[in-house]
Structure 1
Amino acid sequence: MTFYDREDELASLETAYSSSGHAFYVVYGRRRVGKTALLKAFCADRPHLYYLAAQEAEGRQREKFVEQVADAFDERIPRIDGWDDAFEYLGEKLETENRVVVIDEFPYLVDENDSLPSYVQAFVDEQLQNTASMLVLCGSSVSTMESEVLGHESPLYGRRTGQIDLQPFSFQQAYDVIAGDIGDAIRSYSITGGTPMYLTLFDYDDSLAENIQTHILSPTAVLYNEPEFLLRTELRNPARYLSILEAVALGQTTPNEISGATGIDSGPLSKYLQTLRRLRLLEREVPVTATRKKSKRSRYRVADEFLRFWYRYVEPNRSSIEEAPSIVFEGTIEPDLPTHVATTFEDICNEAVWELIRRGELEPYSEVGRWWYGEDEIDIVGLAPNDDRVLLAECKWTTDPVGYGLVDDLRKKATNVRWGPKDRSEQFVLFSKSGFVDGLASELDERWLLVDLDDLEQVFSGPFNA
């Protein structure tokens, strides 16, 4: 697989490696996000020791670790009785030769022996800090990494010299991989999202229909059972979590709606939702003008575009896909796909707003997000409290050009956004897949910015001249 981007993360690791003294880095993030690829790219031209833990008995884990250390230093395998001895042996070898030491999937080791962080602490304090070597602990179980490695109660707290919480690619980063027409790129991204494994699996010389049928709708395809695999590696009994994710993907986004769709009472549901958030499979949203912790107007959304696609189209149609995948695509997925893409388009426009702010082509806003109250919703609202300024934007993934109706609608809804003083300044942006009706731009004042797909391509690839 080609290694894409991650320039900032590689630079961070390289700075740590080249600095004087030892380095202790923590790299974590949800599965499939590219942690292993990042670390292998970093280690490629450096003397290193890479150990990938597995879900095995503790004794076998330790044996493999010691074998890996011995092999890295071209030594006979010593007899080791415990993890304290194993790390002491590693420390002795690092006294003679500096290395990058990567322990990947560290949570698997902790699952078998919760004293592992204490052994690593002793190794860091007593041996690693006397070398110029670098230790990297990596893991996909975000909750374990945050509690057992980064948390206040962890023996390792305060010892790391840096950390990377690796995120999926943004659309701008993914566009470098997808290339081509931006409309097609948005459609593809709405299915793969920014997860590198999914993103690079598609062949962008083929049509989107071919990619969906080849890589998702085929029962032998890698992505056909991917969400189930992800949940089963994290949870012992994933059935209720699967039903929650499906409900949210199909539009049941409030706790009451999710409870009604799944039959799970509100008490247990809150725990399930919290777990899915911890696994970074769900996100909780509140209106941008609300206080996150106190607001009771929360909504949930599937945090990954591919999972949203899978739970919307694959899970409910498994039986039919087994028999006739092409009919499912043509009759169910293809006609509804614009509705699915429209949600992704909003997120991409939100990303574009931040990019325009960074470039100084929009005035600065400290918060940008969705807003809703009662029956009113606005796709993007930006707040600039220090300047009493608000940004209001709508995003339309439709086949018809945007006209005066959306302008009037946004003006009306703006009056219901209760934020700031009455004399606040307002800025408006309209994003449109199919452009705008003739004459619209000339009839709007300087507070309005109109952005079509050609403009959006400029935002993500060069200077913006809308």
Structure 2
Amino acid sequence: MITQSMTFYDREAELGALRSAFESPGSDVFVVYGRRRVGKTELLKEFCSDRPHIYFLAAQEAETRQREKLVDQVAAHFDERVPRTDGWDEAFDYLGEKLQTEEVVVVIDEFPYLVDENDSVPSYVQGFVDEQLRESESMLVLCGSSVSTMESEVLGHESPLYGRRTAQLDVQPFSFRQAQTVISYDTADAIRSYAITGGTPMYLTMFDYETTLAENVKSQILSPSAVLYNEPEFLLRTELRNPARYMSILESVALGHTTPNEISGATGIDSGPLSKYLQTLRRLRLIDRDVPVTASSKKSKRSRYRIADEFLRFWFRYVEPNRSSIEEAPDIVYDGTIAPDLPTHVATTFEEICQEVVWEGIRRGAVEPYSEVGRWWYGEDEIDIVGLAPNDDRILLAECKWTSDPVGSALVDDLLAKAENVRWGPSDRDEHYALFSKSGFVDGLEDELDQNWSLFSLAEIDDLLSPATEDGV
């Protein structure tokens, strides 16, 4: 049995996929993977809560002990004495035999830990699936946080399990829209809060939204006894033997060094080894590589790196460089270092949220469709959001401002000037423009602009991302 712990939010689409697999005739092999802390186990607990299930959580321990624990779980479910088994083949034979008598969900969580101890485990599972699971109505769920192991040892072409899965779920952190079901602040504070916790359910649910954001940061992150105070270091130690260099790379990216040359200069790591470290961090989904939206991601030399998780970006920007001061005087660090700089940190998150608004607007028919949406830069010029619709020669150019003053015509002129430098499509391309602003727009700006311009204040952003407007924008 699994005990229910954290409050379960959203994930209706993922639950629906698991339910329909279980309810379909025949057996299933369902693969669930995603970054650590993203809520995979909570999702599986919710799914299993009203179904007969065997839940086995693998651990970093000797293979024999792992196998004994799995057999113990199976015997306990069927209320039997634990049989002796000498190897994975016998353990899976025993499980397969029992599944002929009852329809059960069998979850093996943190499956990569079994593979680490014995890389033949996927072959034993393949034998079990082909010879016994197929003869039953049961469902096997293989779950793991090591995305690279799940992709190579379970989903990859070389894996014995290739072609055996009937469905898969790559569980992602919550988008801002999804996170709003947890964050009960007003829109501006919700965006600030999301810029600190990101969309990881565990981090989101640690904040008490009845208190101020400052109080949450001080009690949940800046307190040496708080879980989040050491969380990134714990995550890296779980995944990597020597995390020190990775820590320094993440800190340099969080502080604004985004190109390989800048990261190399800030960390003192030569470009050869650095590219391997960056590759590992990408594989762990801790950083993302961006290229301008008009460029080819494989060929472009204009790559930039960013931390893929808002909480890690916040932690490496404010906690890691100030640890000794935090241990002495956390309030002074918050008031003197974090609070004055927070708008700059939040501005980056705001751009991501505005991209989400564009995609949501496309989905609801409120924004013209674009097949690609992303950032654009060349030399000194940057545009926060560029959308491309190649079939219609249509381009969207947008800027996002997280400032305390309303936006005026200076930003309009600036965007028009930069638009001329975006080399894409024919000379008579169809240009659309958008401005997103935390503090709204100066009076009369909307009247000065033609129908190719869209203005989004926080109220419009809230409207587009709230479920209430789903049927008619």
**TM-score scaled to structure 2, two decimals?**
0.98
Q: How does 1:339-378 map to 2 (within 5 A)?
A: 339-378=344-383
- The match for 1:51 is 56
**C-alpha separation between the residues in 2 aligned to 1:162 and 1:200?**
29
1:270 and 2:265 are equivalent in the alignment: no
**C-alpha separation between the residues in 2 aligned to 1:320 and 1:303?**
26
**C-alpha separation between the residues in 1 aligned to 2:457 and 2:329?**
37
- The match for 2:3 is none
Instruction: Give the SS at the match of 1:10.
Output: helix
Q: Which letter does structure 2 place at the counterpart of 1:456?
A: I
Q: How does 1:343-422 map to 2 (within 5 A)?
A: 343-422=348-427
Using the TM superposition, give the Cα deviation of residue 98 of structure 1 relative to its aligned residue in structure 2, in angstroms.
1.4
- The match for 2:316 is 311
Which one of the candidate residues 90, 94, 97 is aligned to 1:92? 97
Q: Which letter does structure 1 place at the counterpart of 2:321?
A: P
- Give deviations 1:16-61, integer Å, cap 9, x for gaps: 0000000100000000000000001000000000000111101111
Which one of the candidate residues 194, 201, 204 is aligned to 1:196? 201
**C-alpha separation between the residues in 1 aligned to 2:158 and 2:355?**
37
1:147 and 2:152 are equivalent in the alignment: yes
1:68 and 2:73 are equivalent in the alignment: yes
1:460 and 2:465 are equivalent in the alignment: yes
1:302 and 2:296 are equivalent in the alignment: no
Instruction: Give the SS at the match of 1:349.
Output: helix
Using the TM superposition, give the Cα deviation of residue 463 of structure 1 relative to its aligned residue in structure 2, in angstroms.
3.1
- The match for 1:246 is 251
**C-alpha separation between the residues in 1 aligned to 2:153 and 2:450?**
55
Q: How does 1:97-246 map to 2 (within 5 A)?
A: 97-246=102-251
**C-alpha separation between the residues in 2 aligned to 1:454 and 1:132?**
50
Q: Is there any run of 5+ residues in structure 1 with no aligned partner, and where?
A: none
Root-mean-square deviation (Å): 0.9
- The match for 1:77 is 82
**C-alpha separation between the residues in 2 aligned to 1:449 and 1:96?**
61
1:328 and 2:333 are equivalent in the alignment: yes
**C-alpha separation between the residues in 1 aligned to 2:36 and 2:211?**
27
**C-alpha separation between the residues in 1 aligned to 2:12 and 2:177?**
14
Using the TM superposition, give the Cα deviation of residue 120 of structure 1 relative to its aligned residue in structure 2, in angstroms.
0.1
**C-alpha separation between the residues in 2 aligned to 1:450 and 1:267?**
45
Q: Which letter does structure 1 place at the counterpart of 2:403?
A: T
Q: Which letter does structure 2 place at the counterpart of 1:454?
A: A
> Identity percentage over the alignment?
77
**C-alpha separation between the residues in 2 aligned to 1:359 and 1:136?**
34
Instruction: Give the SS at the match of 1:247.
Output: helix
Using the TM superposition, give the Cα deviation of residue 179 of structure 1 relative to its aligned residue in structure 2, in angstroms.
2.7
Using the TM superposition, give the Cα deviation of residue 370 of structure 1 relative to its aligned residue in structure 2, in angstroms.
0.1
Using the TM superposition, give the Cα deviation of residue 176 of structure 1 relative to its aligned residue in structure 2, in angstroms.
1.3
Matched positions, count = 466
**C-alpha separation between the residues in 1 aligned to 2:325 and 2:185?**
33
**C-alpha separation between the residues in 1 aligned to 2:178 and 2:366?**
20
Structure 1 residue ranges (4+ consecutive) displaced by more than 2 angstroms after TM superposition: 462-466
Instruction: Give the SS at the match of 1:76.
Output: coil
**C-alpha separation between the residues in 2 aligned to 1:212 and 1:179?**
16
Using the TM superposition, give the Cα deviation of residue 347 of structure 1 relative to its aligned residue in structure 2, in angstroms.
0.2
Instruction: Give the SS at the match of 1:370.
Output: strand
Say which is worse superposed, 454-463 or 296-305, in terms of deviation. Answer: 454-463
1:258 and 2:263 are equivalent in the alignment: yes
Q: Which letter does structure 1 place at the counterpart of 2:117?
A: E
Q: Which letter does structure 2 place at the counterpart of 1:201?
A: M
**C-alpha separation between the residues in 1 aligned to 2:394 and 2:100?**
59
Q: Which letter does structure 2 place at the counterpart of 1:66?
A: V
